[in-house]
């Protein structure tokens, strides 16, 4: 049994981790942690997330002393904000834990990226170099040996799962940058109240044009430029991405289909559509990324859908843990 700590357990991604870890036959929840000053300290998690009532009623414990929580823990999931993960991960690694970080704190190994896109100067370049990017389907060998896993961003997961096999197989004419239009539900912004996320404010609107931090994350790991435009939609959860690309001259529908099929035929959490394209309702509440496409001449449109809190966060984190420790990849996920 792996003693497992979930930090940020009261958040949206944290609560999904609690559900998965609780039903994992090889993991045992040692504690559910929140900040030292949390308003929710001492409350049962099921008071905040009633879907857990009678399933997990453990209290949310304020993390006043990290060493108290790291002692005896084998695995730590950090479902915390980027700056918090940046500070906590080294302490848990030092204590010998395997750390799965759901934030952006260790995703991109660059000197300038964090200051420009996250607003802080990264203090742990050695950990940036060591962290393994947890795009699970594409990084299995490195994940098996990793001690710090940077779980990808929600938007970059769907975008890369759609584009990577096509780029690797050299099917795309990259002189036309793939255009990724993505719409996310509001849970992507976390549980904390904010005017911009409140019911009457949210409609359907693009944001972060040319400046969103997921664009350079996608580019860094894909090795190709893209145009990425996120949108906020007025629904709670799910991400749908429509990716428009140019195929190299002569590339056919069959070649695209065969390339995706080859990439994902033994990957249970990516589901390919032979006909049509996915809708959000097919993946919300489920750990899959669904992919469909259409071709017309040299033009390709790929559609990818996932639950931002699941394949975009908690499910991919547990998938990475399953790979890291040699369990079935879908253990406790489906
Ligand atoms: N929401 C999403 O769709 C996705 C989120 N992510 C990433 O996952 C992480 C969590 O996101 P999300 O669940 O949405 O966030 P939430 O805002 O919903 O939750 C954040 C959690 O962190 C806790 N927390 C805050 N400060 C500390 C601290 N110092 N020590 C310990 N716990 C703390 C909060 O509790 P309290 O404030 O009471 O202490 C809360 O439990 C973020 O880095 C986010 O970028 C990644 C992919 C998708
Ligand atoms: C709708 C919404 O606000 N989404 C968030 C992204 C989700 C997230 O949590 O960011 P990471 O994947 O980088 O951790 C945003 O655009 O900043």
CATH code of the domain covering residue 208: 3.30.360.10
Dihedral (CA of 19, 25, 27, 31) sign: positive
Domain that holds residue 78: 2-151+313-325
Q: Which two tokens stand for residue 218?
A: 């996608």
Substitution candidate for ligand 2 out of 230, 232, 306, 309 with most atoms within 8 A of CB: 230
Residue 333 lies in a domain: no
Give pLDDT tens digits for 12-54: 999 999 999 999 999 999 999 999 999 999 999 999 999 999 9
The rounded mean pLDDT for the chain is 98
List, for residues 222-240, the tens digit of each pLDDT value. Answer: 999 999 999 999 999 999 9
Of the candidates 150, 147, 144, the residue with the CA atom closest to the CA atom of residue 325: 144
User: Which CATH number characterizes residue 78's domain?
Assistant: 3.40.50.720
Asked if residue 169 and residue 83 are part of one domain, the reply reads: no
| Within-domain flag for 159 | yes
Residue 284 has a CB neighbour count (10 Å cut-off) of: 19
Find the catalytic residue in 154, 245, 289, 320: 154
| Residue of the CA atom closest to atom 3 of ligand 2 | 189
Question: Which residues contact ligand 2 via a Cβ below 6 A?
Answer: 103-104, 153-154, 184, 188-189, 230, 232
Pocket lining: 12 vs ligand 1, CB cutoff 6 Å = yes
Instruction: Give the number of the atom of ligand 2 that is nearest the alpha carbon of residue 153.
Output: 12
* Same-domain status, 188 and 122: no
- Shared-domain flag, residues 75 and 160: no
Instruction: State the ligand closest to the CA atom of 36.
Output: 1
Q: How far apart are CA 263 and CA 169, in angstroms?
A: 10
* Local confidence band at 193 (pLDDT 50, 70, 90 cut-offs): confident
- Are 151 and 102 a contacting pair, CB within 8 Å? yes
Helices (H) and strands (E) in the chain, counts: 11, 14
265 lines ligand 1 (CB under 6 A): no
Domain membership flag for residue 331: no
pLDDT of res. 44: 98
Please tell me what DSSP assigns to residue 122.
-
How does residue 189 score in pLDDT terms, banded at 50, 70 and 90?
Answer: very high
Asked if residue 28 and residue 15 are part of one domain, the reply reads yes
* Digit-coded pLDDT (tens) for 108-119: 999 899 999 999
Say how many domains are in the chain.
2
Q: In terms of domains, do 178 and 220 share one? A: yes
In a domain, 235, yes or no: yes
Ligand with an atom nearest the CA of residue 86: 1
* Mean pLDDT, range 187-197, rounded to an integer: 94
70 and 188 together in one domain: no
Q: Give the H/E segment covering residue 299.
A: strand 299-306
Asked if 45 and 168 sit in the same domain, the reply is no
Angle ∠(216,141,99) on CA atoms, nearest 5: 65
Ligand 1 pocket: which of 152, 159, 186, 190 to mutate (most atoms <8 Å of CB)? 190
pTM confidence score: 0.98
Q: Is 320 a catalytic residue?
A: no
Is the dihedral angle over the CA atoms 93, 95, 101, 105 positive or is it negative? negative
Q: Angle at Cα 86 formed by Cα 84 and Cα 163, nearest 5°?
A: 110
Give exposure, 160-196, as e/b (b: 16+ Cβ within 10 Å).
Answer: bbbbbbbbebebbebeebbebebbbbbbbeeeeeeee
Q: Are 182 and 142 part of one and the same domain?
A: no
Res 111: pLDDT: 84
Q: Would residue 289 be called left, alpha or beta, if left means φ above 0 and alpha means ψ between -120 and 50 degrees?
A: beta
Q: Tell me what the mean pLDDT of segment 213-227 comes to.
A: 98
- How far are the Cα atoms of 24, 60, 79 from residue 288, in angstroms, in the given order? 18, 29, 20
Note whether 288 and 208 are same-domain residues: yes
Q: Listing from the earlier edge strand, what are the strands of the sheet with 60-62?
A: 60-62, 27-34, 2-7, 75-78, 98-101, 148-150, 132-133
Ligand 1 in reach of 185 Cβ (< 6 A): no
- Residue 7 confidence class, pLDDT cut points 50, 70, 90: very high
In a domain, 287, yes or no: yes
One domain, residues 128 and 176: no
- Which residues are CB-contacts of 126 (< 8 A; sequence separation ≥ 6)? none
State the DSSP string of 81-103: -HHHHHHHHHHHHHTT-EEEE-S
Pair (320, 280) in one structural domain: no
Question: What is the C-alpha to C-alpha distance for residues 5 and 242, in angstroms, rounded to an integer?
Answer: 36
């Amino acid at each position: 049994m792996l003693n497992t700590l979930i930090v940020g357990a009261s958040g949206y991604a944290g609560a999904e981790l609690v559900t998965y870890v609780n039903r994992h036959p090889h993991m045992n929840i040692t504690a559910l942690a929140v900040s030292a000053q949390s308003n929710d300290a001492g409350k049962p998690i099921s008071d905040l997330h009633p879907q857990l009532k009678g399933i997990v009623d453990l209290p949310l414990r304020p993390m006043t002393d990290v060493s108290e929580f790291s002692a005896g823990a084998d695995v730590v999931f950090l479902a915390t904000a980027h700056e918090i993960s940046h500070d906590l991960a080294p302490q848990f690694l030092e204590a010998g834990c395997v750390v799965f970080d759901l934030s952006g704190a260790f995703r991109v190994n660059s000197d300038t990226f964090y200051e420009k896109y996250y607003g802080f100067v990264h203090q742990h370049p050695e950990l940036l170099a060591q962290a393994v990017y947890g795009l699970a389907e594409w990084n299995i060998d490195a994940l098996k040996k990793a001690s710090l896993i940077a779980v990808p961003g929600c938007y970059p997961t769907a975008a890369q799962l759609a584009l990577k096999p096509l780029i690797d197989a050299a099917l795309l004419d990259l002189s036309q940058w793939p255009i990724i239009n993505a719409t996310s539900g509001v849970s992507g912004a976390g549980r904390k109240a904010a005017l911009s996320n409140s019911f009457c404010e949210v409609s359907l609107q693009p944001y972060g044009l040319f400046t969103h931090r997921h664009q350079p994350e996608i580019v860094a790991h894909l090795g190709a430029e893209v145009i990425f435009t996120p949108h906020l939609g007025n629904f709670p959860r799910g991400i749908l991405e429509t990716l428009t690309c140019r195929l190299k001259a002569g590339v056919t529908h069959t070649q695209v289909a065969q390339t995706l099929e080859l990439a994902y035929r033994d990957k249970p959490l990516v589901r390919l559509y032979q006909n049509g394209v996915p809708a959000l309702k097919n993946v919300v509440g489920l750990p899959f990324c669904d992919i469909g496409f259409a071709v017309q001449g040299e033009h390709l449109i790929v559609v990818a859908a996932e639950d931002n809190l699941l394949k975009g966060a908690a499910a991919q984190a547990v998938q990475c843990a399953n790979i890291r420790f040699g369990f079935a990849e879908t253990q406790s996920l489906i």
